[in-house]
């Protein structure tokens, strides 16, 4: 990897929970499937189980204690860590805190999120529970850029997940996570390789990178 490609796809991953998506991304980098590097794994609380998964993988971790410090001070620490680490991408993987308008203005276009529904259906918390309760036959997963509104930014990729009759929460969670674990790294790869082109709200995927390819060969 040359210097510029490693810089271009250096990502900070933010988590709040078990970090299974973070672990898959880290493992896909290790296997060479996803170009780039992880600058650090950040969490809003020390108890996030994914921090241990990150440490086991030899990744730098950092806690920004939102509940103790309040959002503004914790976010200031996060911004400082992002600037100091030179992270180009901010990858949300189950991060449960809402980023401020100021944060989004500073890093806009470089923040990516994964949400466990086919947006704009079921935004917000417990999207899987919302989908089950509603009785949909198909739900899914969305990877999108983050803007000022929650679960609202331009969509990069979606994948449908069927909800057969009799599906319980546990089995739907399993299917959703399996879809997430495959879709997130593939979408980030396309994004890092510059394959997405902006057409208004639509992000169009090009087979060939429209600008010079700066990732790994
Ligand atoms: C995922 O379902 C993701 O879509 C949502 O939070 C969950 C995080 O799961 N934003 P994990 O911590 O990656 O296992």
Q: Which residues pair with 41 in a beta bridge?
A: 13, 61
Q: Which of 23, 93, 115, 144 best tests ligand 1's pocket when mutated (most atoms within 8 Å of CB)? A: 93
pLDDT of residue 208: 74
pLDDT over threshold 50, residue 6: no
Pocket test for ligand 1, best of 48, 94, 95, 127 (most atoms within 8 A of CB): 94
Across the range 173-184, mean pLDDT stands at 98
Query: What's the whole-model pTM score?
Result: 0.93
Confidence of residue 3 (pLDDT cuts 50, 70, 90): very low
Q: Own/partner pairs for 154-161, CB < 8 Å, 24+ apart?
A: 154/198, 154/201, 154/202, 154/203, 155/119, 155/203, 156/112, 156/187, 156/190, 156/191, 156/196, 156/203, 156/205, 157/183, 157/186, 157/187, 157/190, 157/205, 158/118, 158/119, 159/183, 160/118
130-158 average pLDDT score: 97
Please identify which of the residues 7, 115, 177, 199 carries the catalytic annotation: 115
Cα–Cα dist 130/106, whole Å = 32
pLDDT tens digits, 83-113: 999 999 999 999 999 999 999 999 989 999 9
Given a cut of 50, is residue 141 above it in pLDDT?
Answer: yes
pLDDT in tens, 65-78: 999 999 999 999 99
pLDDT of residue 207: 81
Mean pLDDT of 192-203: 94
pLDDT band at 2 (very low <50, low <70, confident <90, very high): very low
Instruction: Kindly report the number of other CB atoms within 10 A of residue 209's CB atom.
Output: 16
pLDDT (mean) for 128-149: 98
Q: How far apart are CA 149 and CA 151, in angstroms?
A: 6
Mean pLDDT of 41-63: 98
How remote is the CA of residue 174 from the centroid of ligand 1, in Å? 11
Residues touching ligand 1 (Cβ under 6 Å) are 15, 17-21, 50, 93-94, 114-116, 180
Q: Say what the pLDDT of residue 7 is.
A: 45
The answer to whether 206 is a known catalytic residue is: no
The encoded tokens of residue 76 equal 């200031």
Average pLDDT, the chain: 93
User: Measured in angstroms, how far is the CA atom of residue 44 from the centroid of ligand 1?
Assistant: 14
């Amino acid at each position: 990897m040359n210097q510029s490609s490693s810089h271009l796809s250096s990502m900070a991953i933010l988590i709040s929970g078990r970090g299974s998506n973070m672990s898959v991304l880290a493992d896909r980098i290790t296997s060479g499937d996803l170009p780039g590097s992880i600058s650090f794994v950040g969490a809003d609380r020390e108890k996030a189980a994914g921090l241990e998964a990150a440490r086991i993988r030899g990744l730098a971790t950092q806690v920004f204690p939102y509940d103790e410090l309040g959002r503004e001070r914790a976010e200031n620490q996060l911004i400082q860590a992002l600037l100091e680490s030179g992270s180009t991408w901010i990858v949300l993987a189950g991060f449960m805190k809402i980023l401020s308008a100021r944060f989004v203005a500073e890093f806009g276009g470089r923040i990516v999120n994964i949400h466990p529904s086919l947006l704009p259906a079921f935004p917000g918390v417990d999207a899987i529970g919302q989908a089950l309760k509603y009785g949909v036959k198909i739900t899914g997963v969305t990877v999108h850029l983050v803007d000022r509104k929650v679960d609202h930014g331009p969509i990069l990729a979606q994948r449908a997940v069927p909800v057969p009759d009799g599906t319980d929460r546990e089995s739907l969670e399993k299917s959703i996570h399996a879809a997430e674990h495959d879709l997130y790294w593939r979408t980030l790869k396309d994004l890092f390789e510059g394959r997405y082109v902006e057409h208004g709200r639509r992000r169009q995927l090009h087979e060939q990178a429209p600008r010079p390819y700066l990732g790994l060969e």
